[in-house]
Chains A and B, each alone.
Chain A
Amino acid sequence: MLTSDSCLSLHKHGSSMASDSNSSESQRIAQQRLRIIAGHLQKHKDDDSGTIATECKAEANKGTVPRKRQEIMKWNGWGYSDSKFLFNKKGQAEFTGKRYRLSGMVLPSLQDWFENTFGASVNHKSPATPALNASAVPPASLNEAFVEDLKATGIPFSHEAEDRVFRAHGHCLHEIFALREGKKFERVPDMVVWPNCHNDVVKIVELACKHNVCLIPYGGGTSVTSALECPPEETRCIVSLDTSQMNRILWIDEKNLVAHVEAGIIGQDLERLLNESGYCTGHEPDSMEFSSLGGWVATRASGMKKNVYGNIEDLVIHIKVVTPRGVIEKSCQGPRMSTGPDIHHFILGSEGTLGVVTEVTMKIRPIPEYQKYGSVVFPNFEAGVACLREVAKQRCAPASIRLMDNEQFQFGHALKPQVSSIFTNFVEGLKKFYITKFKGFDPHQLVVATLLFEGDRERVLQHEKQVYDIAATFGGLAAGEDNGQRGYILTFVIAYLRDLGMDYYVVAESFETSVPWDRVLDLCRNVKERINRECKERGVQFQPLTSCRVTQTYDAGACVYFYFAFNYRGLADPVHTYERVEHAAREEILANGGSLSHHHGVGKLRKEWMKESISSLGVGMLQSVKDYVDPDNIFGNRNLL
Chain B
Amino acid sequence: SVSSSFPFSLLSISSSDETNTIDGFEDILEERRNSSDLKYALRCYAPVLYKGVTPCKANMLKNIVLQSDQLHYVINQVSQESGEAPDIIQEEASVILEEMAHRLQISTVRFFAFALSKAFKTLFQHVCVNEEGIQRLQQAIQEHPVVLLPSHRSYMDFLLMSYILYTYDLALPVIAAGMDFMGMKFVGEMLRMSGAFFIRRSFGGDKLYWAVFSEYVKTMLRNGFAPIEFFLEGTRSRTCKSLTPKLGLLNIVIEPFFKGEVFDVNLVPVSISYERILEESLYARELLGVPKPKESTSGLLKARRILSEDYGSIHVYFGQPVSVRSLAQGKVNRSTYNLFPRHIPRKPMEETQSFVNDTAYRIVRLQEDNMVLKPWVLMASLLLQNLEGLELSVLTEQTVWLRGLALSYAAFLDWPDHAPTAKVVSSSLALHRGLACVSGGRVSLVVGEPLGPVTPEEALFNRAVSVLSCASYRNQVLHVFLRPAMLAVAMLHLSDEVYNCFSFLWDMFSNDFILCPGDIVQDFEEACYLLVKTGAVQMPQQDIVMTDIGQPTLSFFNGLLEPFLQGYQVVCRYLCEEASEGLTEKQYIPAVRSFYSVLCVFTGNLRCYEVLSSDMQKNALAALLRMDAVRKVKVADQVTLIVNKMAVNSIDDILGKNRMISHINQTQISPGLSLVAVAEDLYRDGLTPSYIR
Whether B263 sits at the interface, judged by CB under 8 Å, is: yes
Are A593 and B260 touching (Cβ within 8 A)? Answer: yes
- Which A residues are in CB contact (< 8 Å) with B263? 525-526, 529-530
Which residues of A sit under 8 angstroms from B543, Cβ to Cβ? none
Question: Are B342 and A591 in contact (CB-based, < 8 A)?
Answer: no
Instruction: Tell me the nearest residue of chain B to A613, going by C-beta.
Output: B335
B260: chain A residues at CB < 8 Å are 519, 522-523, 526, 591-593
How far in angstroms is the closest Cβ of chain B from A536?
A: 12
B83-123 Cβ-contact flags toward A at 8 Å (1 or 0): 00000000000000000000000000000000000000000
Query: In angstroms, how far is the closest chain A Cβ from the Cβ of B260?
Result: 4
Say whether, besides A522-B261, A526-B260, A590 and B335 are in contact (CB < 8 Å). yes
The verdict on B666 contacting chain A, using a C-beta distance below 8 Å, is no
Is the C-beta of A518 less than 8 angstroms from some C-beta in chain B? yes
Instruction: Report if A612 contacts B (CB, 8 A).
Output: yes
Contact A591 B261 (CB under 8 A): no
**Which residues from chain B contact A612 at a C-beta distance below 8 Å?**
335
Tell whether B401 is near chain A: CB-to-CB under 8 Å: no
> Nearest CB to that of B329 among chain A residues?
A587
- Chain B residues with Cβ below 8 Å from A592 are 260, 334
In the assembled complex, which residues on chain B have CB atoms less than 8 Å from the CB atom of A529?
263
Question: Which residues of A lie under 8 Å from residue B6 when comparing CB positions?
Answer: none
Residues of A within 8 A of B341 (CB): 518
In the complex, chain A residues whose CB is within 8 Å of the CB of B338: 593
Which residues between 289 and 335 of chain B lie within 8 Å of chain A, taking CB atoms? 333-335
* In the assembled complex, B602 has its CB within 8 A of some CB on chain A: no
Q: How far is the CA of A593 from the CA of B260 in the complex (A)?
A: 9
B8 within 8 A of A: no
How many B residues, CB 8 Å from partner?
11
A591 to B329, CA, bound (A): 11
Max chain B Cβ within 10 angstroms of own Cβ: one of A523, A525, A530, A591:
A591
Interface 0/1 of A523-551, CB less than 8 Å to B = 10110011000000000000000000000
For A592, give the chain B residue with the smallest CB separation: B260
Q: How far is the CA of A518 from the CA of B73 in the complex (A)?
A: 15
Question: Is B337 close to A, CB under 8 A?
Answer: yes
> Shortest distance in angstroms between A213's beta carbon and chain B's nearest beta carbon?
40
Contact digits for B258-271, partner A, Cβ 8 Å, 1 yes 0 no: 01110100000000
For the side of the interface on A, what is the size category? 10 to 19
Report A151 CB to chain B, min CB distance, Å: 52
Instruction: Convert A121-150 into 0s and 1s, putting 1 for each residue whose CB lies closer than 8 angstroms to a CB of B.
Output: 000000000000000000000000000000
| Alpha-carbon distance between A593 and B333 when the two chains are bound, in angstroms | 11
- Chain B residues near A522 (CB, 8 Å)? 259-261
Q: How far is the CA of A191 from the CA of B77 in the complex (A)?
A: 66
Please judge, given known A-B contacts A526-B263, A593-B260, whether A518 and B342 are in contact too, CB under 8 Å.
yes
Chain A contacts with B in 570-603, Cβ cutoff 8 A: 590-593
Which chain A residues in 584-641 approach chain B with CB under 8 Å?
590-593, 612
Give A545 to B334 CA distance when docked, in angstroms.
26
When chains A and B are docked, how far (Å) is the Cα of A428 from the Cα of B540?
Answer: 83
Most buried by B among A525, A530, A593: A593
CB of B261 within 8 A of CB of A593, answer no
Residues of A within 8 A of B342 (CB): 518-519
Interface residue ranges of B241-274 to A (CB < 8 Å): 259-261, 263
The residues of B that contact A518 with a CB separation of less than 8 Å are: 341-342
Residues 492-527 (chain A) with a chain B CB within 8 angstroms: 518-519, 522-523, 525-526
CA distance A519 to B335 in the complex (A): 12
- How far apart sit A590 and B263, CA to CA, in the bound complex (Å)? 14
Return chain B residues, CB-CB under 8 Å to A530: 263
Question: In the complex, what distance in Å separates the CA atom of A526 from the CA atom of B258?
Answer: 12
Query: Which chain A residue shows the least CB distance to B263?
Result: A529
**Chain A residues within an 8 Å CB radius of B337:** 593
Report the Cα distance A202→B342, complex, angstroms. 51
Cα-based distance from A590 to B260 in the complex (angstroms): 11
A581–B446 Cα gap in the complex (Å)?
Answer: 65
B200 CB to nearest A CB, Å: 31
A387 to chain B, nearest CB (A): 19
Q: Which chain A residue shows the least CB distance to B343? A: A518
Q: Could you give, for residues 334-371 of chain B, a 1 whenever the CB lies within 8 Å of some chain A CB and a 0 otherwise?
A: 11011001100000000000000000000000000000
Q: Which residues from chain B contact A593 at a C-beta distance below 8 Å?
A: 260, 335, 337-338
Least CB distance from B230 to A in Å reads 24
Q: Give A533 Cβ to nearest chain B Cβ, in Å.
A: 8
Bound together, the chains give a CA A590 to CA B338 distance in angstroms of 9
Q: Which residue of A lies closest to B144 (CB)?
A: A529
Q: Mark A300-323, 1 if CB is under 8 A from B, else 0.
A: 000000000000000000000000
Q: How far is the CB of B323 from chain A (nearest CB, A)?
A: 10
Most A C-beta atoms less than 10 A away, residue of B260, B335, B338: B260
Q: How far is the CA of A525 from the CA of B222 in the complex (A)?
A: 13
Least Cβ–Cβ distance between A27 and chain B, in angstroms: 51
Tell me how far the C-beta of A557 lies from the nearest C-beta in chain B, rounded to whole angstroms.
12
Contacts of B261 in A (CB 8 A): 522
Give bound CA distance, A590 to B336, whole Å.
10
In the complex, A557 Cα to B152 Cα: how many Å?
46
**Hey, which chain B residues are within 8 Å of A519, CB to CB?**
260, 342
Complex: A526 Cα to B263 Cα, angstroms: 5
**CB neighbours of B335 from chain A (8 A):** 590-591, 593, 612
Q: How far is the CA of A525 from the CA of B260 in the complex (A)?
A: 9
Cα of A523 to Cα of B335 in the assembled complex, Å = 12
Closest B residue, CB atoms, query A525: B263
Listed residue (B263, B333, B342) with the most chain A CB atoms within 10 angstroms of its CB: B263
Residue in B closest to A593 when the chains form the complex, CB atoms: B338
Question: CA A635 – CA B186 in complex, angstroms?
Answer: 80
Docked Cα-Cα span, A568 to B337, in Å, equals 36
**Chain B proximity of A253: nearest CB distance (Å):** 43
Residue-by-residue, is A469-483 near B (CB-CB < 8 Å gives 1, otherwise 0)?
000000000000000
Q: In whole angstroms, how far apart are the Cα atoms of A593 and B337 in the complex?
A: 8
A523 CB contacts on chain B under 8 angstroms: 260
Determine the distance from Cα of A65 to Cα of B225 in the docked complex, in whole angstroms. 58
Q: What's the nearest-Cβ distance from chain A to residue B144, in Å? A: 9
Most buried by A among B334, B337, B341: B334
Task: Please measure, in the bound complex, the distance between the C-alpha atom of A525 and the C-alpha atom of B337, giving whole angstroms.
Answer: 18
Q: What is the distance, in angstroms, from B266's C-beta to the closest C-beta of chain A?
A: 14
One digit per residue, 1 when the CB lies within 8 angstroms of any chain B CB and 0 when it does not, for chain A 254-268 equals: 000000000000000
Q: Which residues in chain A, 357-399, are within 8 Å of chain B measured between CB atoms?
A: none
Q: Complex formed: what's the CA distance from A91 to B335 in Å?
A: 47
Tell me the smallest distance from the CB of A437 to a CB of chain B, in Å. 20
Smallest distance from the beta carbon of A390 to chain B beta carbons, Å?
16
The closest CB in chain A to the CB of B332 belongs to A591
Candidate in B259, B261, B335, B342 with the most chain A CB atoms within 10 angstroms? B335
Q: Which residue of B lies closest to A532 (CB)?
A: B263
CA distance A228 to B148 in the complex (A): 52
Give bound CA distance, A526 to B260, whole Å: 7
A518 to B337, alpha carbons, bound, how many Å?
Answer: 13
The chain A residue with its CB closest to the CB of B336 is A591
Q: How far is the CB of B414 from chain A (nearest CB, A)?
A: 36
Interface string of A437-461 (1 = CB under 8 A from B): 0000000000000000000000000
CB distance from A609 to the nearest CB of B (A): 10
Instruction: Indicate with 1 or 0, residue by residue over B488-526, a CB within 8 angstroms of chain A CB atoms.
Output: 000000000000000000000000000000000000000
**Could you list some 25 contacts between A and B, CB below 8 A?**
A518-B341, A518-B342, A519-B260, A519-B342, A522-B259, A522-B260, A522-B261, A523-B260, A525-B263, A526-B260, A526-B263, A529-B263, A530-B263, A590-B335, A591-B260, A591-B333, A591-B334, A591-B335, A592-B260, A592-B334, A593-B260, A593-B335, A593-B337, A593-B338, A612-B335
Apart from A518-B342, A523-B260, 11 more pairs, CB < 8 Å: A522-B259, A529-B263, A530-B263, A591-B260, A591-B333, A591-B334, A591-B335, A592-B334, A593-B260, A593-B335, A593-B338
Residue numbers of B with Cβ under 8 A of A are 259-261, 263, 333-335, 337-338, 341-342
Give the interface of A toward B (CB within 8 A).
518-519, 522-523, 525-526, 529-530, 590-593, 612
Closest 5 CB pairs of A and B: A591-B334, A592-B260, A593-B338, A522-B260, A529-B263
